[in-house]
């Protein structure tokens, strides 16, 4: 059992390092392409920080552990909003751009609504699963979101924050991309395999392991990225990273996962989906209260306490 936990930790470290290297390399390419900070946060950084979730889900589905896959996404998205945005706002108040309010926050609500209906057999199929047809729908929504983000973006709004970073040399960029992919592959294999072993040995459901242990670990890249952005007073990266990651987690990660195997949904997880809806609503409420469109330090504290309550409720109910 001790070796299992050690390998799990090694897997998490490999995931975080791999994601960090890949994000650095991809961000360098984004800077060369003269993308705005918000678009970099919503696409390159968000996609990079969602790679741990993707790799864990892919390997979990290959091993037949769809409970870990669904729990991982629900837990990660809830943690992204309540914990990561909460901690970032506690460090420095987060300004929310008009484009995020019009496009990204509604897209997050739509993504959460989509998987809630799919998991409860509202669309296609039965037996509480998200099947390959619904997975294709999620991926189509992902393409539409990226198109709206990049092609139909409001250039005036999204270039309010100028890019001051200098792109890395091409040689280093390529090495970072290759090293990042290797780290993510190794980490995904180790985490999915050992999380499944822990669930069996401790008598925990795979959904609970995914919701708590795996989700917390795979969300570390988002947490680190947003904290660093908050210390640098870069609200665009902090909020873009979280909103983009949540949308990608559902549309892309769950979409790809359901193509590998039907994702069986535990009806008891509906409570966690309702909490995720509440977290999205709370974030939107805080944006429109107080002075300006921002998340204040006090609101950050409330969000952090909300995450603690979510974690306690999930474990206690299990």
The answer as to whether 60 is a domain residue is no
Mean pLDDT, residues 296-308 taken together: 93
Question: Which helix (DSSP H) or strand (DSSP E) does residue 294 occupy?
Answer: strand 294-295
The answer as to whether 231 is a domain residue is yes
Report the alpha-carbon angle 110-314-305, nearest 5: 80
Distance CA 229, CA 11 (A): 25
Q: What is the pLDDT of residues 259-294, one digit of tens each?
A: 999 988 888 888 999 999 999 999 988 888 767 688
Which residue did the predictor score with more confidence, 302 or 191? 302
Q: Are 135 and 256 in contact (CB under 8 A)?
A: yes
The answer as to whether 211 is a domain residue is yes
Average pLDDT score, the chain: 83
Which residue did the predictor score with more confidence, 248 or 120? 248
Mean pLDDT, residues 51-62 taken together: 86
The answer as to whether 185 is a domain residue is no
The answer as to whether 141 is a domain residue is yes
What pLDDT score was predicted for residue 79? 93
- Which structure tokens are listed for 219? 């969300």
Confidence of residue 90 (pLDDT cuts 50, 70, 90): very high
What pLDDT score was predicted for residue 234? 75
Confidence of residue 318 (pLDDT cuts 50, 70, 90): low
β 294-295/263-264 pair status: unpaired
Cβ neighbours around 155 below 10 Å, total = 8
**168 Cβ contact list (under 8 Å, min separation 6):** 24, 25, 28, 176
Which residue did the predictor score with more confidence, 157 or 303? 303
Confidence of residue 143 (pLDDT cuts 50, 70, 90): very high
What pLDDT score was predicted for residue 163? 46
Question: Which letter, b or e, does each residue of 187-214 get, where b requires 16 or more Cβ atoms within 10 Å of its Cβ?
Answer: bbbbbbbbbbbbbeeeebbbbbbbbbbb
What pLDDT score was predicted for residue 159? 44
The answer as to whether 25 is a domain residue is no
Cβ neighbours around 125 below 10 Å, total = 15
- Nearest 10 degrees: Cα torsion 169, 178, 223, 261: 150
The answer as to whether 13 is a domain residue is no
What pLDDT score was predicted for residue 83? 93
The helix/strand/coil state of 96 is coil
> In 3D, which of 92, 121, 96, 125 has the Cα closest to residue 108?
96
Mean pLDDT, residues 22-44 taken together: 74
> In 3D, which of 257, 225, 258 has the Cα closest to residue 240?
225
What pLDDT score was predicted for residue 215? 85
CATH label of the domain that carries residue 121 = 1.20.1420.30
Which residue did the predictor score with more confidence, 63 or 309? 309
Q: What is the pLDDT of residues 148-173, one digit of tens each?
A: 877 765 554 444 444 456 788 889 98
The answer as to whether 176 is a domain residue is no
Domain that residue 41 falls in: 37-54+66-163+205-317
Domains of the chain: total: 1
């Amino acid at each position: 059992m001790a070796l299992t936990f050690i390998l799990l930790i090694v897997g998490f470290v490999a995931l975080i390092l791999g994601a960090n290297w890949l994000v650095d390399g991809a961000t360098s390419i984004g800077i060369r392409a003269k993308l705005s900070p918000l678009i970099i946060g919503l696409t390159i950084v968000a996609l990079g920080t969602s790679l741990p979730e993707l790799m864990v889900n892919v390997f979990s589905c290959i091993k037949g552990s769809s409970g870990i896959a669904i729990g991982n996404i629900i837990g990660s998205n809830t943690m992204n909003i309540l914990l990561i945005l909460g901690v970032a706002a506690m460090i420095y108040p987060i300004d929310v751009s008009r484009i995020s309010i019009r496009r990204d926050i509604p897209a997050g609500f739509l993504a959460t609504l989509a998987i809630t209906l799919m998991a409860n057999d509202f669309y296609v199929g039965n037996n509480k699963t998200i099947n390959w047809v619904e997975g294709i729908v999620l991926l189509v929504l992902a393409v539409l979101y990226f198109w709206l983000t990049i092609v139909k973006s409001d250039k005036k709004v999204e270039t309010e924050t100028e890019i001051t970073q200098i792109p890395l040399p091409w040689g280093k960029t390529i090495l970072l991309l290759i090293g990042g992919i290797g780290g993510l592959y190794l980490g995904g294999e180790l985490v999915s395999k050992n999380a499944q072993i822990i669930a069996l040995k401790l008598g925990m459901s795979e959904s609970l392991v995914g919701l708590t242990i795996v989700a917390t670990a795979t969300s570390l890249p988002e947490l680190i990225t947003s904290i660093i952005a908050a210390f640098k007073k870069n609200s665009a990266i902090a909020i873009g990273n979280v909103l983009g990651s949540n949308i990608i987690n559902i549309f892309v990660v769950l979409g790809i996962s359901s193509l590998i195997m039907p994702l069986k949904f535990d009806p008891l997880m509906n409570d966690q989906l309702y909490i995720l809806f509440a977290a999205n609503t709370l974030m939107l409420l805080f944006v429109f209260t107080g002075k300006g469109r921002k998340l204040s330090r006090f609101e950050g504290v409330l969000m952090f306490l909300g995450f603690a309550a979510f974690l306690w409720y999930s474990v206690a109910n299990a």
